[in-house]
Amino acid sequence: MKKIVILVSGRGSNMIAIADACRRQGWPAQIVAVIANRPDTQALRDASELGLHTEVLDSTGATDRAHYDARLADLVDGFEPSLVVLAGYMRILSDAFVDRFEGRLVNIHPSLLPAFPGLRSHQQALRAGVKIHGATVHLVGRQLDGGPIIIQAAVPVLAGDDEQSLAARVLRAEHRIYPLAVRWLIEERLDFDEQTVRLRAQSGESQWLTCFDALEDEAVALGADGTDLRPVNAPCVSGAVR
Ligand code: GRF
């Protein structure tokens, strides 16, 4: 049984999506702790309701990042996790923390990286006038919102969108791709180097393009040539398989 530690700062909807998928799909994994850097967060309340073990390491006033992160790393390590999942964890992590959990530290960012790293990605996307926006799950590298990309979901930017409506559309996509990526990591289906992640094929696919209305619990290959004839407002994910 693999052990997962989830780090949160606020709302915790991705944490719930992962916890739900883990339970419903019977992953060979257990969420051993949900750790928040702030007390009194929705994520902690929901985690407790789900019966998950919670911890708080309050970062209020923690100006010495190296010191705080060293304590956090010790706390996380105490649970002996195979995987550390950042789910709306809003602090920048020190290089020492990233290095300590290299290859087993994963994050979701609400943009199609490398576009729009950092804060307010939806506002950045609207200001740039892009027509396609989305979310990215990636292994965490030292660079902010950098590291090998595991999966991306694209959603349209619609006329009349504001930050809230766009964020809501992206968040629905996040809740589909983050559990999928975490499951692949748990099942050790991913090969990665410093830049690239490959999903090991289960049925001989070489390229998949998946639409969420076709995506139930597992990605469905829809065409090696990447042809996608589905409606423009159907979020899609795409990736290479070998
Ligand atoms: C998500 O949009 C995620 O991509 C970003 O922070 C937000 C967290 O939302 N890193 P939640 O706490 O999972 O609801």
CA of 134 to the centre of ligand 1 (A): 13
Domain ranges within the chain, ordered by starting residue: 1-101
C-alpha–C-alpha distance, residues 232 and 38, integer Å: 39
Strand order in the sheet with 105-109: 54-56, 29-36, 2-8, 83-86, 105-109, 132-139, 149-156, 236-240, 207-211
Q: In terms of Cα–Cα distance, which of 207, 215, 222, 202 is closest to 175?
A: 215
**Atom 5 in ligand 1: residue holding the nearest Cα:** 88
Residue ranges in the chain modelled with pLDDT below 50: 213-234
Segment holding 77, helix H or strand E: helix 65-77
C-alpha–C-alpha distance, residues 105 and 224, integer Å: 30
C-alpha–C-alpha distance, residues 43 and 66, integer Å: 25
Q: Which residues are tagged catalytic?
A: 109
Q: What 3-state DSSP class applies to 209?
A: strand
Q: What 3-state DSSP class applies to 157?
A: coil
Instruction: Work out the burial of residue 150: count CB atoms within 10 Å of its CB; fewer than 13 is exposed, 13-18 middle, 19 or more buried.
Output: buried
Q: What pLDDT was estimated at residue 95?
A: 97
- Going by their DSSP bridges, the two strands 29-36 and 236-240 should be labelled as unpaired
Query: Where does ligand 1 bind, in terms of residues with CB under 6 Å?
Result: 10-14, 87-88, 108-110, 135, 171, 174
Q: What pLDDT was estimated at residue 198?
A: 84
CA of 227 to the centre of ligand 1 (A): 30
CA of 109 to the centre of ligand 1 (A): 7
Q: What pLDDT was estimated at residue 199?
A: 81
Q: What pLDDT was estimated at residue 235?
A: 53
Give CATH for domain 1-101: 3.40.50.170
Q: What pLDDT was estimated at residue 204?
A: 53
Q: What 3-state DSSP class applies to 43?
A: helix
Torsions phi, psi for 190 (to 5 deg): -110, 135
- Total number of residues shown for the chain: 242
List CB contacts of 211: < 8 A, sequence separation 6 or more. Answer: 222, 228, 230, 234, 235, 236
Q: What 3-state DSSP class applies to 237?
A: strand
Q: In terms of Cα–Cα distance, which of 135, 140, 124 is closest to 86?
A: 140
